[in-house]
Amino acid sequence: MERSSHKAPARVARLLRPLCSTFRLGLVVTIGCLASATAAAAQMPSAPVLQNAWAAPGLAVAADLGGGGDGTVYGLAGGWTPGAGRFQLSAGLGWQVRTGAGSRMAYGVRAAMPVLGRTSTFGAAAFAGFGGANGKPSGNTIGADSTASITQIPVGLSFGWRHALNAGRGFSFYASPYYMFLGGSGKSAGLFRASAGLDAGVSARFGITAGLDLGADRVRPEGGPSGILYGLGITYTLSR
């Protein structure tokens, strides 16, 4: 009887080992899905710079909405990360509607690279982007953005924390301090700003992003970020 009692825990451990392995695999996949919620974070004027600290392998598309006191931008975007998850590329195209200044096309591209904690709860990434808007303003009012074009180049770091739930769900919080170079038809300038965001994986395919961006301002007629910017996005993962 004594020998049998010693063998029982070993038998239970052998039976549970496959279940534990499956759980760990599911946990890794769930956490990996979180970064796909920001696959469309390419920088466009009137949108916040939201960049997660991780990159989930695969291809994703998203619909984005951003804005603030000087206008709103509506966009579609996509992101791709290779199987190893070492970097992420994203690009977006949209339409910027400015208060009292008509509308124009907006675009952006961005590259991000996780530099710390690619498979852990805490992580960090470096990123750089290029974005802008082109189009002659129409119906200008006093104080409106009078620049025909603007270029935005953000460079920064992102620090995040993530938590996996079940059935392909989870969430992550991140903060991204960055420096933005501004150019175009107005005067060149540089600003320090920071953003904070939340990514939520509501399923293995769908994700939601929300965040804010604030910091140094630029005089509105010269173009560039001013005040607090908000951003919302819905992402669908095509492949992994």
Residue ranges of domains in the chain: 2-239
> Residue range 55-77: average pLDDT?
88
88-120: pLDDT as tens digits: 999 989 998 887 777 889 999 999 999 998 778
Q: What does the pLDDT read at residue 165?
A: 81
In whole angstroms, what is the distance from residue 175 CA to residue 179 CA? Answer: 14
Q: Helix %, strand %, coil % for the chain, to 5?
A: 15, 50, 30
In whole angstroms, what is the distance from residue 220 CA to residue 145 CA? Answer: 6
What Rg, from alpha-carbon coordinates, does the chain have? Answer: 22
Answer whether 0.75 is exceeded by the pTM: yes
Q: What is the 8-class DSSP label of residue 5?
A: H
Return the amino acid letter for 1: M
137-171: pLDDT as tens digits: 555 544 455 567 889 999 999 999 998 887 667 88
Q: Which residue has the higher pLDDT, 41 or 126?
A: 126
Q: How far is CA 12 from the centre of its chain?
A: 43
Largest CA distance in the chain: 92
Q: What does the pLDDT read at residue 41?
A: 53
Range with the lowest mean pLDDT among 41-45, 110-114, 125-129? 41-45
Q: What is the 8-class DSSP label of residue 11?
A: H
Domain 2-239: top CATH class: mainly beta
Q: Which residues pair with 116 in a beta bridge?
A: 124
In whole angstroms, what is the distance from residue 16 CA to residue 207 CA? Answer: 32
Q: How far is CA 195 from CA 81, 213, 214, in A?
A: 22, 4, 6
Contact 44, 96 (CB under 8 A): yes
Q: What does the pLDDT read at residue 21?
A: 45
Q: What does the pLDDT read at residue 226?
A: 84
Over 70: is that where the pLDDT of 2 sits? no
Contact 75, 103 (CB under 8 A): no
